[in-house]
Amino acid sequence: MNEQFRVAHKLGLMFHHDTPLPEDVKAWAISQLHAKSPALGIKKVKHYPKAKVQEWPKSLQPDLKKRDDMFAVYKQNVRKQRMELEGHTSEAAKRANNRENLMGEKDEMKFAHRNIYGKDQVRLRFTSFWANHFTTGNIWDNQNHIGHAIDEAILANLNGSFSHMLYKMTTHPSMLVYLDNVWSSGPNSKNVIWAKEKGKQAGLNDNLGRELLELHTVSPSAKYSETDIRNAAKVLAGWGIWPGNLSDGLMTLNERNNKLIEMGETTNSWDFFKKWHAEPGNKTVLGKVIPAGKGGLRNLTDFLASHENTIMFISFKLAEHFVSDNPSKSDIDYIANAWRLSNGGLDQIHSAVIERAISSKAPKFQWPMTWLFQVVRLSDASFFKGWDQIEKYDEGLMEVRKIFEELGQSFWHTRQPNGYSSAKSEWLSGEMFERRIRFSDAIYTAGYPSFSPQEIMDRIGANEATRELVNSLLGRKKQFIALMCSPELMGLENA
């Protein structure tokens, strides 16, 4: 590939056919870190000519409060349905409840659209890296939160510091729900004392405390103890709201809001701290003394964010994701150094990643979702439905949720908190490769690409081996499949 597309393959999602190729590709990639683009997408799929790309409608991008309210209403309706109340039991009522109050499907479509039509491809790749680092899945009742976390806790904070992003993700309801912290209360909190008096259960849950140390920051290389984990959990105790209804009764939104204010002095689920659930007293984590109270968590996340083990652990992850499948020590050190010098400034860290990814000539195997977005962008195919078609059956086009399911990768799946591996070895299997062939076929067949394999090869400056492979086949469809599954576009070595 020419230098522009080689870099876009490693660090971005490929240039659209109407985007002029930058002359200084490194300067372009670094400037992309500040590229601002609204969520772009299409209303409805059209092939000749292709549908107009426009901003996602505001009505489909509710703020967090609205999302929480919608979910509370959803839960109430489900309860009414179980009670067999009139007007709530028909299939139409159930569908309307899903359509009006659940965000998972819309958010997943918006994410796909954004990655396909977005003008901020490098930013979006870093967004996906961090969304995976701070994995939150659709476990419990989390689907109205995941898309909001990706957009507002990750993408919106991409130009700040790692410590800020860490704090914003740790306190985001998407994380607090996914790793059970919403339930947790300190062993000496008022809530636990009252519960004991009434013979009820309440106490600590260490799930988020453990993963905050193991996965989000210092990693097991820091050799923390179970006591460190428990103390981190005690710092976290009190953070978060259980989504949906707060009690067994059918609460109105007003009553719910009043209850929230009583518990956490706010209705904002992204800044929600229940002092009655908090653990009194100082806590020590990895030798650092953390004071009691709401401010304690920021002390902890700031301490962990600048910890040397965090820097080395995440610098490796970044290098493995963007630079090469076997990053060198100097790649990792270069990123870690930028981290130390900038005190965790994400712009500087990301710029260092970009520099190393460009200077390393090694191919980088791409995730299934990254590859899919790249194939669709290169060919200008229409493979994802538009937002007006969410509920409409189409015999050619797959549901967005189904696409990601078949791909074997989605930020909206229930999955383990360590997220998807960037290691090539995790993805080398017949099943995964068969899917690349089938998806290439489906994108060609149902997506009506605007460009032929020859035109795409010319634009990207495909290498000799790729041209030989494609030209040895007869028929555009076969050529298209071979191009998209070539070593060059998958990020593997040529034979």
Partner 1 sequence: MPKLNLTRREFLKVSGASLFLAGLPLPGFTSDKPPGTISVIMLEGGMDGLTAVPPFGDPNLLRMRRNLTSDNYLKLNSFFGLHPSFKYFAGLMAKNNASVVHATNFPYVLRSHFEGQNLMQGGGLSPFSETTGWLGRALDLAKVPGRSLSLDMPLVLRGMSDNDNFYPASIKSSSDLMTQLIDTISMAHSKEGSEIFAKVSKKSTQKDSIVPRNPASLAKFAGKAMSQDGGPLSSVIKVDQFDTHANQGSDENGNHGTQLTLIDDIIAGYKEGLGDAWDRSIILTLTEFGRTVLENGTGGTEHGYGSAGLLAGGAITKSRVISQWPGLAKNEQFEKRDLMSTIDYRSVCAACIEKSLGLDHDLIASKVFYTPKLPRVYDQIFS
Binding site for partner 1 (CB under 8 A): 139, 179-180, 183-185, 187, 192, 201-207, 210, 214-215, 220, 226, 395-398, 402, 406, 408, 414-418, 425-435, 437-439, 441-442, 445-446, 465-466, 468-469, 472-473, 478, 481-482, 485-487, 490, 492-495
The least CB distance from residue 351 to partner 1, in Å, is: 30
Question: Looking at beta carbons only, is 149 or 213 nearer to partner 1?
Answer: 213
Q: Measure the CA–CA gap between 424 and 492, rounded to whole angstroms.
A: 9
Question: Looking at beta carbons only, is 249 or 396 nearer to partner 1?
Answer: 396
For 73-102, b/e burial (b = at least 16 CB within 10 A) is bbbbbbbbbeeeeeebeeeebeeebeeebb
The least CB distance from residue 397 to partner 1, in Å, is: 7
Question: Looking at beta carbons only, is 37 or 207 nearer to partner 1?
Answer: 207
Helix residue spans in 1-84 (DSSP H): 3-11, 25-32, 64-82
The least CB distance from residue 180 to partner 1, in Å, is: 4
The least CB distance from residue 402 to partner 1, in Å, is: 8
Question: Looking at beta carbons only, is 34 or 200 nearer to partner 1?
Answer: 200
Q: Measure the CA–CA gap between 436 and 469, rounded to whole angstroms.
A: 16
Q: Measure the CA–CA gap between 68 and 242, rounded to whole angstroms.
A: 10
The least CB distance from residue 485 to partner 1, in Å, is: 5
Question: Looking at beta carbons only, is 126 or 365 nearer to partner 1?
Answer: 365
Please list, in sequence order, all residues whose beta carbon lies within 8 angstroms of the beta carbon of residue 308, skipping any fewer than 6 positions away.
none
The dihedral formed by the CA atoms of 137, 386, 406 and 74, expressed in degrees to the nearest 10: 40
The least CB distance from residue 493 to partner 1, in Å, is: 4
Contact 211, 303 (CB under 8 A): no
Question: Looking at beta carbons only, is 387 or 439 nearer to partner 1?
Answer: 439
Cα 308-131-7 angle, rounded to 5 deg: 85
Q: Side chain identity at 338, as an amino acid letter?
A: A
Rg value, the chain, Cα: 24
Q: Measure the CA–CA gap between 435 and 317, rounded to whole angstroms.
A: 26
The least CB distance from residue 294 to partner 1, in Å, is: 20
Contact 489, 374 (CB under 8 A): yes
The least CB distance from residue 401 to partner 1, in Å, is: 13
Question: Looking at beta carbons only, is 59 or 201 nearer to partner 1?
Answer: 201
> Residue 189: CA atoms inside 13 Å, Cβ hemisphere, count?
28
Pull the structure tokens for residue 478. 């076969």
Question: Looking at beta carbons only, is 105 or 206 nearer to partner 1?
Answer: 206
